[in-house]
Structure 1
Amino acid sequence: MSTAESRTADYDVVISGASVAGCAAAILLARRGARVALLDRRSDPAAYKVLCTHYLQPCALPVLKELDLVEALEEAGAVRNEARWYTRWGWIEPKPGPDGEPLPHAYNVRRQTLDRIVRERAAATPGVDLLLGHTVVGLLRDGGRTTGVKADCGGSGERELRARVVVGADGKDSATARLAGVPVKTHANERFSYFAHFEDLELVGGITQSWFLEPDMAYAMPNDGGVTVVAVIPSKERLPQFRADLEGAYLDFVRDLPEAPAIDRATRVSKIIGTVNYPLMSRRPASPGLALIGDAALTSDPLWGVGCGWALQSASWLADVLAPVLAAAGGADEIDKALAGYGRRHRGALRGHQHLIADYAKGRPFNAFERLMFSAAARNDAMARHMHLFASRLVGPLRFLNPGALLRALWVNLTHRPTRPVPAPAPSGESPRFRTVA
């Protein structure tokens, strides 16, 4: 599109979906001079995604800082995320490095808090027009290139919005991707999930607890407002129990966890909600005139809590490559080259993670590599920190499983002295009590 043609467009960018990814992209693009229309089918400015892990991975912290959201999140009570993970070899408890270097963190924050903050920030950003109650029902095309959207404005009828770029940020069932004919690759998820919110739930150390039960999974995660999210993620072999008695099966599952949180002494403040079918999906992130970000590009397993972090990262990657071309009034060819660059960056950063996640979504126990790394992380502080970096998506699979790390894990396990029970002194007339020694 030439400079003259760009003036005929209503906007530089039209974004469908005003949730985490869409709002972040709108803010970052508008700050760099783009004219942005941010559409959402919901008319309520306080709307938020309910089915979510409410977790921002440490990989997203640089984007939160770029968006100037850290202070607002902390003022709203977002909890810096620390975690300990139960395995059959014991607890993995990442700690700061020997030099005192803190562990990377981001935040546990409920979507009702996060979505409101980021949407308000987008609406207040000069250059962003927030258009609520606008549902994308069609795409404008010119010679195979996306050039705008047709939106249903509710009682106001339909309108067309031309743009130099259209961005789909409308979730895993993206209407934008479907209308553009973008193919989707699907991986079955052989686990299901249910969660509820509790108040006054005590957790060891006051931090997130996760249980890898092979193949089942659970976590308890403190959030803003003094609320703790407790999720159970069993394999589908357990589904009949939950369908027969959801509340009973959910509560029994949590009570049976090793060192289980005392949910019977806490107050449940939400319904038990969840999903029995949440497939993993991936789509090509970019095509001429079109980009997909967040879950529209890549929907992963909620077990790992990567969705919000990857939504923020993908929004930032898109803005990094697209904003300079838009500011220079680049034509369609230049814009599409930038979009292709975004697609390469997205695939290079996330494809390896998604491959491993999709394989574990088969509902299987740990494989040999996972047994090696998880057992070593439960036994060695350096390996626990290495695991933390990978779980935070700050290192990729190749670095996580590099030969040096594998040899270190093997050495840790070969030299480990297992704990064994030994009798402790007992008062006269009582049976010996047991303690463990390394």
Structure 2
Amino acid sequence: MTMPERTYDVIVSGASLAGCAAAILLARRGVRVALLERRSDPEAYKVLCTHSLTANAHPVLDELGLLPDLEKLGAVPNRSRWHTRWGWIEPKAAPGGPELPYGYNVRRSTLDPLIRAHAERTEGVELLLGHQVTGVVEERGRVVGVRVKADGGERELRARLVVGADGKDSAVAKYAKVPAKEYENRRFGYLAHFRGLPLPDGIAHTWFREPDMAYAFPNDDDVTVVAVLPDKKLLPEFRADLEGAFMAYVQALPGAPDFGTAERISKIIGLVDYPLHLRKPVARGAAFIGDAALTADPLWGVGCGWALQSARWLAEEVAPAVAGRGGLDKALTAYGRKHTRRLRPHQALGVDFAKARPFNPLERLVFSAASRDAALARHMHLFASRLISPVRFLNPPVMARAALVNLRFRKS
């Protein structure tokens, strides 16, 4: 059965974080948006996730109007401490200074339905559940729409712009022939959810084990996500006894939480292979946001924040053009440049760290000094929150302070 063709200003494929945020922010700027989601359940959510919204996402959450709902639903401000071989790095606000920036830890089972319902209530957004993209419509080499399958029928939807917010295996990118570059990740990862797991001060913990990683992030409803990301050299041990290896690993962490009173409420899930992906954020008549444009190493917990940020950047740049008040190609170019400038350096560091290597000399210098100096611990917090660039993180004054801190420590 062929259904009637429909026309919009923008079609967004994928009604998860990036797609819903983009739809809301575009519609508020006077854009008519079709928000497509292949799953039919409005409560659907991403299962395999760090469930962390880093502080770089806070302004976007505020603009979306989600902060009151998140706090009402019990989202946990994501303050944290990090364990290194030199001890704990514990960022704290300067005496008399402002509170450190923060985001939230919140389960995707809470967050995804919330933002999707928010998008559905936004004037100018038409949420189309159960709509699977089966192709793109092109004219003169330009994407001008998508073909979708829904309710046993097929139809074309057309728009000035098609946005892929449909993950690293983006159907929009596939059919528009926009390839992704892939980078090996030499770590594997498993996580599980626990209820009633006590964490000191109730804040997130991350362990840098060089080259292994682990974290425990408290979430809403007294649920804590515990994850391990070891070097693939340990994979045979986990394959032989997943539950035993997982629990032995986390219980052996320095300062590990006491699992005696906790209840595991999920299976242990994960991925053996999770390569990092990168594709151009724009094509002729198409744009990509969230994981469809770039995936981060999950150990940093920044993917949700980047999804929201990239949605905002796209809306800011293209809304006037798709509403008929400017050149779309120029607007897409501006978005692509901003996306590349803001995220590519972070991903380059992530690609290098995904080689499962120990800290390099600069990292050793900064991490060791941050465990001994409050100002450097705050500086690390800004970088981990993706509020400063790698260049600012490792700038000469910071390196000089780190060297001085370590020199004084050795003399003491």
TM-score by length of 2: 0.97
Q: After the TM superposition, which residues 169-248 of structure 1 pair with which residues of structure 2 at under 5 Å, given as runs? A: 169-248=165-244
What is aligned with 2:23? 26
The answer to whether 1:108 aligns with 2:105 is yes
For 1:154 and 1:279, how far apart are their aligned partners in 2? 34
User: Aligned in 2, Cα 1:219/1:129: closer, same or farther, shift over 3 Å?
Assistant: same
Contact 2:318 2:328 in 1 (8 A): yes
After TM superposition, give the deviation of residue 101 of structure 1 in Å. 1.3
| Contact 1:60–1:106 under 8 Å retained in 2 | yes
Matches within 5 A, 1:260-279: 260-279=256-275
TM-aligned CA deviation for residue 199 of structure 1: 1.0
**CA shift at 1:9, angstroms?**
6.8
1:74-223 aligned within 5 A:
74-155=71-152, 157-223=153-219
How far off its partner does 1:97 sit? 1.6
User: Contact 2:10–2:322 at 8 Å: present in 1 too?
Assistant: no
Shift of residue 417 of structure 1? Answer: 4.6
33, 44, 47: which is aligned to 1:47? 44
Q: Deviation per CA, 1:293-342, whole angstroms, max 9, x where unpaired?
A: 00000011100001100000000000001112223444xxx111101110
Identity %: 63
Q: State whether residues 287 and 340 of structure 1, in contact with CA within 8 Å, keep that contact through their aligned partners in structure 2.
A: no
Shift of 1:220: 0.6
The Cα of 1:265 is off from its aligned counterpart by 2.5
What secondary structure sits across from 1:114 in the alignment? helix
Aligned ranges 1:338-417 → 2 under 5 Å = 338-417=331-410
1:400 and 1:97 map into 2 onto residues whose CA distance is 18
Aligned partner of 2:290 in structure 1 is 294
**Offset from partner CA, 1:215-242 (integer Å, 9 cap, x none):** 1110111000110111111110000001
Structure 1 residue 98: deviation in Å? 3.0
User: 1:95-124: CA deviations, max 9, x gaps?
Assistant: 002332111001000000010110000000
1:38–1:129 contact (8 Å) kept in structure 2: yes
2-structure distance, mates of 1:165, 1:329:
14
Secondary structure of the corresponding residue to residue 102 of structure 1: coil
**One-letter amino acid of the counterpart of residue 150, structure 2:** C
Inter-CA distance 258–109: structure 2 relative to 1 (3 Å threshold): same
- What is residue 35 of structure 1 aligned with on the other side? 32
- How far, CA to CA, are the matches of 1:41 and 1:164 in structure 2? 21
Which amino acid is the alignment partner of residue 96 of structure 2? D
**Cα offset, 1:259, TM superposition:** 1.0
Distance in 1, Cα, partners of 2:154 & 2:322? 27
- 1:49 is paired with a residue whose SS is coil
Whole-Å Cα distance in 1 between the matches of residues 347 and 181 of structure 2? Answer: 12
For residues 179-204 of structure 1, the C-alpha deviation after alignment (integer angstroms, 9 at most, x for no partner) is: 11112111100001111111111111
Distance 1:416 1:329 in 2: 60
1:60 aligns with 2:57: yes
| 2:254 maps to 1:258 | yes
The alignment partner of 1:314 has SS state of helix
Correspondence 1:311 to 2:307: yes
**Deviation for aligned residue 1:178:** 1.1
Displacement of 1:287 after TM fit?
1.3
CA distance in 1, matches of 2:12, 2:103: 26
1:50-93 per-residue CA deviation (whole Å, 9 max, x = no partner) reads: 00000001001000011001011001100001000000000000
Aligned mates of 2:22, 2:15 — CA distance in 1: 10
Mark the runs of 5 or more structure 2 residues left unpaired by the alignment.
none
Write out per-residue CA displacement over residues 325-378 of structure 1, whole angstroms, 9 at most, x where no aligned residue. 223444xxx111101110000000001000001100001111111101100110
Q: TM-score, structure 1 length as denominator?
A: 0.92
The structure number with the bigger radius of gyration is 1
- Aligned-residue CA RMSD (Å): 1.1
Mapped to 2, the partners of 1:390 and 1:18 lie a distance apart of 29
Secondary structure of 1:150's match?
strand
Check whether the contact 1:9–1:164 (CA below 8 A) recurs between aligned residues: no
Distance, in Å, in 2 between the alignment partners of 1:103 and 1:236 is 35
Question: 1:434 — aligned with what?
Answer: none
List runs of 5+ in structure 1 lacking aligned partners: 1-7, 419-437
1:144 offset after TM fit, Å? 1.0
CA distance in 2, matches of 1:48, 1:311: 15
Helix, strand or coil: the match of 1:299?
Answer: coil
Cα distance in 1 for residues equivalent to 2:236 and 2:17:
34
In structure 2, what is the Cα distance between the partners aligned to 1:383 and 1:80? 21
Q: Per-residue deviation at 1:398?
A: 0.5
In 2, Cα distance between the equivalents of 1:15 and 1:323?
Answer: 13
